[in-house]
Structure 1
Amino acid sequence: MNFVEELTWRGMLHTIMPGTEEMLAKGMASGYIGFDPTADSLHVGHLTQIMTLIHFQRAGHKPYALVGGATGMVGDPSGKSQERNLLSEDVLQHNLEAVKKQLTRFLDFNSGANSAEMVNNYDWFKSFTFLDFIRDVGKHITVNYMMAKDSVKKRLEGDTGMSFTEFTYQLVQGYDFYYLWKHHNCALQMGGSDQWGNIVTGTELIRRKDAGEAFALTTQLIKKADGTKFGKTESGAVWLDAERTSPYQFYQFWLNTTDVDAKAYIRIFTLFERPVIEALEAEHDAAPHTRALQKALAKDITIRVHGKEAMRLIEITTEFTFNSSFQWEDLFDFSEKDFLKVFSSTNTFFISGKTFIDFVIGDDVLNLLVEVKNYDSDLNYKHMFESKTEARKLIMNGGVYINKIKISLDQKLSDFKLFKDKYLFIQRGKKNSALVVFCDDVPYEMERMKDLLKD
C-alpha cells in the first residue's frame, strides 16, 4: 500500500512537501501528528488525523501520536480569532490520560517494528529553561519568517492582536519536530492544512540547526457540502467519549449526513477498500432512499469508536423506536445496564414518592401522567403534561402512548408492565418520548443510573 496514493484517492491529501514520496518509498519511515489535550475527549474533528495515522501504519510506516502536554499550556493560534483560555496542569494531566486512552483504540501499539508510539512533549519541555530555549532554538528562526505565516498575519490584522505566548507557538511546535527527528528518527510531520505553517517551521529548524532533512504533509480540512463546520450539531461538538455524546447520538450524526457528504466521508473515515466503496455508491445511486452509504458509514465508524456491543444496542434502539413490531416486552430479558443504554438518548423523567401500584389501585391514567416530571441538575423540574385537561385532550386525539401502546381515557393501567418494577416508556406525540422512573429519591436515582451506565 502506497501511503500518499491512499490519501489521494480518498480525497484526504492537501499539500505535500517535495521529496516526501521519495523518502517514504525507501522503506519504513517514522512520522507524527500532534493532538492538544484541550478537553478530556477527542471529537470527530480529530478523526481525519487519526485516520491519517492509521493509513500511515497500514502502509508499513511507524506512527507517533504526540499528545501536547506542553503545547496545550500555550494554545495554537492557527484558525482562531482570539486567544483561548489556558488550562491548569491538573486539568491538562486529566485530559492527557483520557486522550491517550482514546488513541489506543485506533492504532496498533504491538505490531513489531512499526508499532505505534505515544509521546508527550511535556517530557522534553519540563526542564527546558526560557533562556536555553531562546538561545538554542529562537536564534535559528527570524521574526520576519514567523510573521510571514498566515496564522500570525490574520491575528495581527484582527482586533484582538496576538500575545507573545501564542506568537511563540510555532517555535514550540517546531522544536517538537526537531526533538522527534533527533531522538526518534521522525522524518515526517502530518496535520490539517491549517498546520502547514507550523509544520514547515519545524522542517526549517531541523535544516538550520542540524543541516538535517525533514518533510511535511497536510490533509484537507473537512467541511460539510453546505460550507458549515464539520462535527458540530445544535447541541455542540460530537465527541468520541460515550459520556459526552452517547453511541446512539454518535451513530445518528453519521446516519443523518447528506448524500453528498456521505460520498466524501465514507472515503475519509472508513477503511473500506475502493471496490467496496464504489459498490456502495452504485447501490446508493440506484436507490438513494435506502441510504446505503449513510448506514454503512455510520455502522463502521460507530463500531470502531464504541465497539460491536454498543452497535448491537444501537440497532435495538433503532428497532424499538422505528419498528412497530418491536415491543416493550422484547426488552425484558436485558440487564438494567443494557436497558438504560438503549434509552441513553431518551429524556428521563421521574415519578417521585409513589409506586406504580399506587396508580393501578386508583386506576386513573390522568393522575399518573400529571405526576411525570423532568429534573435538571439543580432539581428544578418541569411536567411532561401540565394538567389533566392537557393530558385528556392529547389522549382523545390519539397522541399519548405508554409502552408503545396508544392509550384511551378508559385505559386500565393494570394492562401495562414495568421493566424491573420501576420503568415505563411514555410518548407524547411523535417527537416527545421519555423513560419514566419510579423512585423515592430523585437525586440518588439520577446518580445511580449515571454510575450504572459507566463502563
Structure 2
Amino acid sequence: MSQYKSEFLRTLEERGFIKQITHPESLDEYCLSETPIGYIGFDATADSLHVGSLLQIMMLRRLQQAGGKPVVLMGGGTTKVGDPTDKEKSRPLLTDEQIASNMEGIKKAFEPFLTFGDGPTDAIMVNNDDWLSKIGYVEFLRDYGVHFTINTMIKQETVDRRLRNEQPYTFLEFNYMLLQAYDFLELYRRLNVRLQLGGSDQWGNIVNGVELTRRVADGEAFGLTSYLITTASGGKMGKTADGAVWLNADRKSPYEYWQFWRNTEDADVGRFLRLFTDLPIDEIEKLEALEGAEINTAKIALATATTTLLHGADAAAESERAAAAVFGNGSVDEALPTTEVPLVDIQAGMLVAAAFTAAGLSQSNGEARRLIKQGAAKVNDKAVSDQNGVLTEADVSDDGVIKLSAGKKRHALIKPI
C-alpha cells in the first residue's frame, strides 16, 4: 500500500523512481490539490541526449500522465559555466554557437515522450539564458549570495572530493550551484513552478533551489530525486563498448537502440521495464517472473517497448524483425545500420579494418585489427583471420551490401555506391 495519495507520487514509488523528497507530505497535497508544475534542467553539452538522461525524461512523462505540467529547462546559460557535479575536472567551455547548435539537437529527444502546447498540462520548453545572461553581478551577489554559506557549499560531495584530492575547483564552477538555485526561483516567479526533479547526484543543488525559493519568495517549493541507474554488474547506464547510447536517430539507429535494450542483463530487466516503459505493472510482473531462456521474451518486450516510445511502433517492429532475421538464420536485413562507401574503394580492395571503423563497429583500424586477431570479426558471417584482409566486389551480396559482425551481437552493413 503506497504512502502517497497523489497519482504522480504513487506511480513514481510503484515504479522505483523515488530516492529523496524534501517535503513529502506537502508535495503529495500539492499534487492532489492543483496541477503540479515540475521541471528538470538539461545542459547543452552535446548535440543529443543519451540513455543516461532517459530516466529524467521519463519522470517528466510520468508527471504529465498524472495530470501535471512538465517544464523542460534548457541550460543555455548554465552550460556556459559547466556543471561540475560528480566530475573530477572542469568541463571544457563551449562557445555560444556550439551551445545553440547542441540545444537544437537536444530538443528532438523530448518530442516522443511529452506533449507540448499551450494547454494547462502541456509541456513547455524554456531557456535559462533568457534570465541568466541579464543578471547584474553585483546585484546578484547582494540579493542572493547572502543565502549561501561557503561552509555548506564545500560540504557538497563533488567539492569535498576535489578539495581532498587537491584537484582544482574553479570559482567559475563554484558559481554553478548558485545559478541552478536561482533557476528554480526564476521559474517559480515566471511560471509558478513548485517542483524540481533530478538524479540524486543533484540533491544538493536541488535543495539549494528549494531553500532559496522559500526564503526569497516565501514560496512553497519541493525537490525530488531519482536513483542513479547502474547496471547489475556495476556499469554506467547508457555506456557500451561503442560509446554512449544516443537518443537521436542520426546518432544511434532504431535497430541499434533496440539491440541495446535487448542486451540488458537478466537482473535488470524488471527494473528497466518499470522505469523506461509504459507497460502495466501486472504485465511487468509476469515478464520479470520468467526464468532461464524465457527471460529473452522479457528482454524483447523491453526492447520493443522502449524503442516504440522513442522511435515509434513501426521502427520497433522492424527492429525486432531484423534482429530475429539476423540472429535466427544469419541473414542480412536492411534495418541494420548501413554505411555507404564509394564503389571504387571496394573495387580497389578496402581494408576490412577500415570497413569496420567506417561502419562504427570499431573506434579505429587498430581496434578492428584486434577484433580480427581475437576471432571476433566476421564478413558475411564468415570469420576473418587476416588483419590486413580486404573487401572486394566478390563480397557484395545479391542485396548489394556486405554484412560485418563484431562478436555475436553487433552487426552493420557496408553498401557500395
The TM-score bracket by the shorter chain reads 0.7 to 0.9
Equivalent position of 2:216 in the other structure: 209
Equivalent position of 2:386 in the other structure: none
SS of 2:62's partner is: helix
Q: Which amino acid aligns with 1:425?
A: I
Using the alignment, how far apart are the partners of 1:275 and 1:295 within structure 2? 17
Contact 1:66 1:121 in 2 (8 A): yes
Root-mean-square deviation over aligned CA pairs? 3.2
Q: Deviations over 1:392-436 (max 9, x none)?
A: xx9xxxx98599xxxxxxxxx99x9733xxx14357998697745
Contact 1:425 1:433 in 2 (8 A): no
Equivalent position of 2:166 in the other structure: 159
Equivalent residue in structure 2 for 1:299, among 285, 304, 308: 304
Using the alignment, how far apart are the partners of 2:407 and 2:226 within structure 1? 42
Equivalent position of 1:447 in the other structure: none
Equivalent position of 2:111 in the other structure: 104
Using the alignment, how far apart are the partners of 2:262 and 2:191 within structure 1? 40
Equivalent position of 2:17 in the other structure: 12
Equivalent position of 1:121 in the other structure: 128
Stretch deviating more after TM superposition (148-157 or 90-99): 148-157
Using the alignment, how far apart are the partners of 1:428 and 1:294 within structure 2? 21
Report the Cα offset of residue 147 of structure 1: 2.4
Contact 2:263 2:299 in 1 (8 A): yes
SS of 1:272's partner is: coil
1:353/1:205 Cα in 2 relative to 1: closer, same or farther (>3 Å)?
closer
Q: Deviations over 1:77-128 (max 9, x none)?
A: 2111111111110000001111122212211113731111111100111221
Matches within 5 A, 1:309-320: 309-320=314-325
Q: Deviations over 1:193-236 (max 9, x none)?
A: 01110011111111222222211111111011122211111121
Q: Which amino acid aligns with 2:22?
A: M
Equivalent position of 2:402 in the other structure: 425
Stretch deviating more after TM superposition (57-66 or 127-136): 127-136
Equivalent position of 2:336 in the other structure: 343
Using the alignment, how far apart are the partners of 2:264 and 2:94 within structure 1? 34
SS of 2:314's partner is: helix
SS of 1:113's partner is: coil
Q: Deviations over 1:15-63 (max 9, x none)?
A: 0112222222222121111111110000000011001011111111111
1:429/1:121 Cα in 2 relative to 1: closer, same or farther (>3 Å)?
closer
Matched, 1:34 2:11: no
TM-score (norm 2): 0.82
1:24/1:400 Cα in 2 relative to 1: closer, same or farther (>3 Å)?
closer
Equivalent position of 1:334 in the other structure: none
1:428/1:115 Cα in 2 relative to 1: closer, same or farther (>3 Å)?
closer
Pick the structure with greater CA Rg. 1
Matches within 5 A, 1:353-392: 374=354
Report the Cα offset of residue 181 of structure 1: 0.8
Q: Which amino acid aligns with 1:263?
A: G
Matches within 5 A, 1:163-174: 163-174=170-181
Q: Which amino acid aligns with 2:267?
A: V
Matches within 5 A, 1:251-266: 251-266=258-273
Matched, 1:274 2:267: no
Matched, 1:144 2:151: yes
1:17/1:203 Cα in 2 relative to 1: closer, same or farther (>3 Å)?
same
Using the alignment, how far apart are the partners of 2:240 and 2:159 within structure 1? 29
Structure 1 outlier segments of 4+, above 3 Å: 287-290, 346-351, 370-377, 399-403, 416-419, 424-439
Equivalent position of 1:321 in the other structure: 326
Contact 1:32 1:65 in 2 (8 A): yes
Contact 2:304 2:320 in 1 (8 A): no
Q: Which amino acid aligns with 2:186?
A: Y
SS of 2:228's partner is: coil
Using the alignment, how far apart are the partners of 1:26 and 1:428 within structure 2? 55
TM-score (norm 1): 0.76
Using the alignment, how far apart are the partners of 2:346 and 2:155 within structure 1? 69
Contact 1:33 1:65 in 2 (8 A): yes
Q: Deviations over 1:166-200 (max 9, x none)?
A: 11111100000000111111111110001110011
Using the alignment, how far apart are the partners of 1:143 and 1:210 within structure 2? 22
Using the alignment, how far apart are the partners of 1:434 and 1:55 within structure 2? 35
**Which sections of structure 1, spanning at least 5 residues, go unmatched?**
332-338, 356-367, 386-393, 404-412, 440-455
**Percent of residue pairs identical:** 39
Equivalent residue in structure 2 for 1:51, among 58, 62, 69: 58
1:350/1:136 Cα in 2 relative to 1: closer, same or farther (>3 Å)?
same
Q: Which amino acid aligns with 1:315?
A: E
Contact 1:349 1:435 in 2 (8 A): no
Equivalent position of 2:67 in the other structure: 60
Contact 2:404 2:414 in 1 (8 A): no
Contact 2:258 2:320 in 1 (8 A): no
Report the Cα offset of residue 140 of structure 1: 2.5
Q: Deviations over 1:132-175 (max 9, x none)?
A: 22122212322223223233222222221311111111110000
Contact 1:81 1:155 in 2 (8 A): yes
Using the alignment, how far apart are the partners of 1:293 and 1:223 within structure 2? 19
Q: Which amino acid aligns with 2:12?
A: L
Q: Which amino acid aligns with 2:306?
A: I
1:350/1:312 Cα in 2 relative to 1: closer, same or farther (>3 Å)?
farther
Matched, 1:70 2:77: yes
